[in-house]
Every structure is written in structure tokens, then in C-alpha cells.
A and B are shown apart, each in its own frame.
Chain A
């Protein structure tokens, strides 16, 4: 009876757990791991993917409001997390990359990020005895191709999933949550957060306008969907970010304007829901959000 009830709840839930097993090629992923953390991919040997996607301490995102690239050049948006990115329907804040492959190219080319060309990448990696032997071993090639570099990085990113969060285990009926946490989840649904933050990633599956009930005013022109489509309807339209591991990825919002989770929840209630939540309500929602922290990806425990 309990099992039946549990299943019914689960089936009706607008959130689904992260799969326990992520499919990826381990050899390639390990090579991708090395590339991810190696500043060799930047023109100045000073910046790596890791610089803006802190998978060790930053929940896969940047603790800076805005990321810094080569020569400490400033980017134009808060770096989103790389964790569970494979379950996003599009990549980047404005969703301009259809998948991880398209995404991985961009920072390498970006002059304010890694500032490289694919020829540069091939040349630099080919000069390295280590990479030559690794690529020979894995891709059976003597000449390293840029596409193989991207492939390896993407394979690593595919491995960056954080299953078994407390909430996932609750959904699976393996663990119970505290009353506050359950209340937080109920509030999360009741006040309408769930409308956009649903699915496996609690977000990452739709584009939404920031400032539905109150105009979101910000001096800066952030690269929103309008910047790509030039459709006025898409001004301030961004991809809904994932709430997985949200406690670790401060600062929040596309502009990093919310320093704390509380600030972020408040802002969302104001702009998106047209409502004001009590401190008590906010605390409960945050308690719920904290249950979304998952396990460290297994691959990060591997030695490279």
C-alpha cells in the first residue's frame, strides 16, 4: 500500500531524479578531465575551463559575479554551472548552443575567455608528449584534431552529474525529509516556482522572461534571447537555470546580482511571481533547495 502510494506520488511529481548512472566513455572523459583543468587551452596558459566552472568548490560555476578570462578580461554574464549540464535542453543563458558540443567550442574561441583557435589548440596539444600519447591511445591518431579535443571535454562534462541528492532519494522513497524541507517543497509548488523550475534539473528545460510582474531593470545589456533573435518579445528572456546544487553556486541570477540564496528567492518571488514571501516561507524554500545538493561526480575522484 505504501509502495503504491509512493509510486503514485512519484508519478505525479513535476520533478524527476537525476539518473544514478550517467553513460559516458571513461577513457575519453578522463582525457577531457585533464583538458578541462589544463590552462594549456588558453592562449596565455593562465585560464582553464575550471577557472569559471569550479567543479571542486564552486558547484561547477564561478564564484565571481562575472567571469575573468585571459589578461583578466571581464566576461558579460555570470558563469552557469557545468554540473548536470547534459540534462539541460540548451546551453548558455540564452540557449544559443543546442548541445554540449556546440557549447564547448565557444569559450575556447572567445577572446575574453580562452582566446584560441582550433589550429592553436591542435598545435599546442601536439607539442605535448603527454597529450600526443594520450590521443594516440584513445583516438588512435597521430595528429590531434580539435574535434577530438571537444569530444573529450564533452565526454567529461557528461560525467559531471550529481545523483543521489537527498531530495532525489526522497522522491525515490529512500529517505524522508524534515518537515521544514517538505513544507519548503510544498511552498515551492504553491507559490509557482515549480512552473519554471521543474523536470530533472528543476529548470534547464525552458526559456523565460525575467520580470513578469515587475519590470526587471538592470543597466547592463546582458546577452539575452533578444540579442540573438532581435524579437522584442525576447527581451530579458533567459534559459531557466537549474536549481541542482544551488546552495553551492552563489552568486545568483544571470548578472550575479543575488549574493545569497535568500536574495535570489526574494528576487524571483518579486519579479516572476508578483508576490512577497515571508522570511519564514523563504527559509523553508531554502531548506528545500539545500536538499538538491547531489553527490560529487564519481569522475572527480579518479586520478588523472
Chain B
């Protein structure tokens, strides 16, 4: 931006400069035309002057002479001098000296013209008198006898005058010239002749000196002398001025060139900057959408393309099998080279027709998006890809490696997720190289997970890692531990403890469930035998309706001869087999078992149970208890349940008593039992003391 400002500023200067140059140019033009005009005027005068001289000389020599030219040059001299006086350059104060010089010329020109005028007047008389004398001389022979000395006198006078006229020397004619003499005895004609002759001879005698003088003055070079000194003065000044103009021209040209250079430089700079910027932009765009290592498109570009969802793509998701091992074994640089090689290999010629787009979307995962490809062709393509890579001998830094790839083919959205799942599927099936995504794969996945869980449980059972934990239950009034709830756990091989929700729902359908239940019953009965506390185990509706399980349970219960076992019925399920439950309750009661309704307050809380069955303890759902101190609604529900149980003379138990505050609240409400982390966590062993300090 600053660059543009600079250029704008420079342009301003350049326009200014341009204006100066223009003004300067017009000034220079005016100046040089003025100089030319002045020089021309001077030379015109010089020419007029010399033409005039030539004409004057001719007119003095020829008897007959056409004076038109002389008149013309006199006028021209006057005109050209006036022109010179009015030369515009003389108005310039620098040329005052020249003006003075020109003014000095004024009287000289006037004198010249004046003298010419006077010369022409005298010349006319002189010429005419001379002609007259010549003409008259011829008449003398007839008028005078041949012995009359007048003849030689006439001849001598004419010779003198004609010599003088030819030589233009005034000394030739002086006062000593003797005119003709008239005699008394001359005839009137002779007397008249002498008088006329003498009239002209004396005219010549009297005017010749001035004639010569004027001729010499006219032929003087004074005008030219003056003109050349004018020229000299003018040259001195104008040369100086011209020099200044030349310097200024040089200066302006230099400054213009420099500015021009700077502008060019700046423009080039801008062009370069724009180029760099464009390159950077292109690079950034490239980096944003391309994978640096393989130059394929990256995951970002993939997501951009797929996100629009406008195009129906078929995705080939390619995973390099055991790439991590390659990396571990040969190092990252080899691994990277391998990926680069693969990125080139997957760009098969046969894919061209499907407008392929290639991506690297993960460490060892490539994707190819194809359009307008049938499932059949997709399979062929996948096969080719797989074979190409499998058969390729990757030679990387002298190491020869063979790799294979797994390819998931999918055209259903979400493209990548489905392909990913397909890929996971393939990985579990060593012989399969490529596979189409199938919607059923989700279900298969679940089964797979379930099988895993079943396996885990199976192993836990065989390895005796299914254990029973006991959580203490406090009688709030007596402040004594009165009961324990038995809870099943699996101890993983690494020692971590797995809660029942992670495996029980899955193994419920299998025989393992019975095995686990058996273990819990066995363990709990063992504990009940040797301890005075009451122990409760959990049964669901399904458990009760599971006849083999029930047989096992009752047989164990009978043989153990304990009377301190309680049953927690899970309320979360609908107690759909009413009679079966009633029978079960009646039967366990004969063994001295109390009945607890578990998780009361959620699910199917059916108050009718209480009229039909003999319920001993109502176990309020933990999710209510947990929040009684910060959720008034839950507190009201809690209180309502408490009032209800009072009304039907049933004891109450609150679980999830996690802190003192909750405990204080439920004590105040008048709950019979408390269970939770505040009282004690589930543990494989019982508490050492049954009394706890609150």
C-alpha cells in the first residue's frame, strides 16, 4: 500500500515536471524563434544595405538607370529596420544592451536614407549636366570655326568631368577649373551656347564635391559595422541564455530520467511483490488442500469435497497393512518413502475414466474418490490396486520391501465412517483384500463386541476372577451396620475392576449368566453363614422366571440353612409374571428372606405390588437421593416415597448417600437405612467394625 502511495506521489511529481517541461518547451520555442527572428532581421538589413550600395554604384555609372530597385531597397531598409526595432526579444530586460545597440543604429539608418535621397537629387543634376555637356559639345563644331580654342577648352572640361566621375575623386574638380569665355563679337547663338555650357559646367563644378562626399558616405560600411557589433552583443547574451537553457534542459532530462527510473523500479517491485504474494497464496492454498509428503490431496480437501454431498462418489479407502511395523523396523524416512511410492502407484491409468481424486487422509491411509463407477468395476479396480501394490517390489535405500493393502469400497454416506468400519472388518479377515461396505456390518460389529465380552467373562469364570463385593448398609437410628448388599465384579488380568453393566447385559442370553449368578449366590451364602449381618442379592424378573437358576438358588439356600439373606427385586423391569413372583416371594419368605424393591422411584414403580406382595424394604432409586439437596423436585419425590412407605409400614433404604449433607437430609426425613460411599464403598471384605462414627 505504501508502495502505491509512493507511486502516486511520484506520479504527481512527474505530472508537475511534465507541466514544467511543457512550459519550458514553449518558452524555449518562443526564445529560439525570437532569436531566429532577430538574426533574420539583422541579416535582412545587411542584405538591404549591400543591395542598396550596388544599386547606387550602378546608378552613378549608367546614364540611364531604372531607380525602381533603389527605391525598393530604400523602403526595405526602413521597413526592415523598423522590424528589427520591434523584435520581441528586445523587450527582455536582459537584452537592454542589444536594444541600445539597435537604437544606435536608428540615426545611422536615417542618415543613410537621407543621404541616398540627397545623393539621388545631386546625381540627377550631375548626370543631366554631364549628358548636356556631351550633347552640346557636338554642336560646337557647327557654331565655331575650327581654329577657335573653345574646342580644346570644351574637350578639356569634358575630359576632366568624365575622369572625375569615373574615379569619384573630388580633387579632380577644383576651383581652378576655367569655364568657357564669351566674346563680344560672338553671335547671339554662340553667346547662348557658351552661357548654357557654362551653366551646366558650373553646376558640375559646384556640386561635384558634395556628390563625391555623399557617394562616399553612402558607400561607407557604417551600417554593417554597427550591425556586426549589435550581433556581437546579441550573441554574447543569447549564447549565455542558450547555455542556461541547455543546462536547464539537461537538468530536466536528468531529473525526468531519474524519476522515470524510480517509477519503473517501483512498478517492477510491485509486480514482484504481487508475484510473491500470488505464489504464497497459491502455496498456502496448496498446503491447505494437499498432503505435504505425497502431494496428494489431504483429509481437509476430502472433507470439503464430501461435505457438499452433491456428487455421488465411490470411495476406495486404502490402508497399508502393517505399516507401523515398517516404520518401526526401517525408520520413518523409509516409511515416508514407501508412502510416497504408494501414492504414485495407486494412480492407476484405468482410473482415469472415473475422474479420480487421490487423497492421503491418515498416516497410512489413502483414499480415492471415483465417479460414475459401477460396483462391479469398483471391485475390479480395487483388485487391480491391491495386486499392483502387492506385486510391487519397493526398493527404498537398498531395502526391498513388499507390502499389501486393504481396500474398503463404499458409496454410502457417511462415506469415510462406513469405509472405516469396512476396513476394520477386512483387517480381521486375513484373506480378504477388499470389501464393499454393507449395512449389516454394524450388527456384525456388535456381535463381535459381544463375543469379546462373552470370551472375557468365560475366561474370568474359569480363572476365578468373578468375585462378589459387599457394600455396607447403615441403620440410621441405631447408627450400626445392619446389612450388606452383594455385588458382582470381574477382576481383569491387569487388576482393574469391571462393573456388571459392562458384561451382564451381554451374557444374560448365555449360560454364563447362570454361572455368574451361581457364583454370587455361593459367595453370599458363604458370607451369610459366618456373619450376623443380613446380606441381600439382586434378582431380576428374568432371574425369577429362569427355572434352572431358581432350582439352583433354592437348593443352595436350603442347604446353607441361613436365614439372613434378603432379595432385592429389580424394579426397573415390569414384573410381568405376577404369579411367579408371588410364589417366589412366598417361598423365600419361608427361608426368612426379606424382600427389597430395588431402584424404586424410576421405571415401572407399580404401587400395586405393595398390596399383593409382602414388601419389607423400599429402596429409593439413587438418582433421586443423589440430588435431594440441590433439586427441590427430587426432594419432594423422595419425601413422598418416604411418606408412602410410612403409610404402608414399610422400611426405607436410600442408596447413593455420597456425603454428609445427603445423609443429614435423609436422617431428618426419617429414612430407615442408608447406603453409599459416605457409609462405605463396595469391597470384597466386610467392615471390621459394625459401628461407624458419623
Is there a chain B Cβ closer than 8 Å to A208's Cβ? yes
Is there a chain B Cβ closer than 8 Å to A104's Cβ? no
* CA of A272 to CA of B68, assembled, Å: 20
Is there a chain B Cβ closer than 8 Å to A213's Cβ? yes
A275→B64 contact, CB < 8 A = no
A195→B128 contact, CB < 8 A = yes
* CA of A189 to CA of B66, assembled, Å: 12
B67→A205 contact, CB < 8 A = yes
A198→B64 contact, CB < 8 A = yes
**CB interface residues, A 209-240, toward B, < 8 Å:** 209, 212-213, 229, 231, 233, 237
Chain A residues contacting B131 (CB-CB under 8 Å) are 190-192, 195
Of the 9-residue stretches B119-127, B141-149, B299-307, which lies at the interface with chain A? B119-127
Is there a chain B Cβ closer than 8 Å to A299's Cβ? no
Interface residues of B (CB under 8 A from A): 64-68, 70-72, 74-75, 78-79, 114, 117-118, 120-121, 123-125, 127-129, 131-132, 135, 196, 199-200, 203
Nearest CB in chain B: distance from A249 CB, A? 21
27 pairs across A/B with beta carbons < 8 Å? Answer: A13-B66, A16-B68, A98-B75, A98-B78, A190-B135, A191-B131, A191-B132, A192-B131, A195-B123, A195-B124, A195-B128, A198-B66, A198-B67, A198-B68, A199-B68, A200-B68, A205-B67, A206-B120, A207-B121, A209-B121, A212-B128, A212-B203, A213-B199, A213-B203, A233-B118, A237-B121, A273-B128
Chain A residues contacting B70 (CB-CB under 8 Å) are 205-206
- Chain A interface residue count, CB cutoff 8 Å, equals 33
B74→A189 contact, CB < 8 A = no
B66→A192 contact, CB < 8 A = no
* CA of A207 to CA of B172, assembled, Å: 28
A274→B200 contact, CB < 8 A = yes
Report which of B66, B72, B118, B125 forms a contact with A16, defined as CB distance below 8 A: B66
B124→A14 contact, CB < 8 A = no
Chain B residues contacting A199 (CB-CB under 8 Å) are 66-68, 71
Known contacts being A14-B66, A190-B135, A274-B129, is A207 close to B120, with CB within 8 Å? yes
Is there a chain B Cβ closer than 8 Å to A89's Cβ? yes
**CB interface residues, A 144-203, toward B, < 8 Å:** 189-192, 194-196, 198-200
* CA of A14 to CA of B66, assembled, Å: 4
The 7 closest A-B pairs by CB, nearest first: A89-B71, A192-B128, A199-B68, A205-B71, A14-B64, A212-B125, A14-B66
* CA of A231 to CA of B129, assembled, Å: 25
* CA of A208 to CA of B71, assembled, Å: 13
* CA of A213 to CA of B75, assembled, Å: 29
Is there a chain B Cβ closer than 8 Å to A15's Cβ? yes
Chain A residues contacting B65 (CB-CB under 8 Å) are 14, 198
Nearest CB in chain A: distance from B208 CB, A? 14
Nearest CB in chain B: distance from A180 CB, A? 20
Report which of B64, B78, B120, B132 forms a contact with A274, defined as CB distance below 8 A: B132
Q: A194-B64, A198-B67 are in contact. List 13 more A-B contacts (CB 8 A).
A: A15-B66, A16-B68, A191-B135, A195-B64, A200-B68, A205-B67, A206-B67, A206-B124, A213-B203, A229-B114, A233-B121, A274-B128, A275-B132
Chain B residues contacting A273 (CB-CB under 8 Å) are 128, 132
Closest to B64 in A: A14
Nearest CB in chain A: distance from B69 CB, A? 8
Chain B residues contacting A275 (CB-CB under 8 Å) are 132, 196
* CA of A288 to CA of B483, assembled, Å: 179
B200→A208 contact, CB < 8 A = no
Nearest CB in chain A: distance from B188 CB, A? 13
Chain A residues contacting B123 (CB-CB under 8 Å) are 195
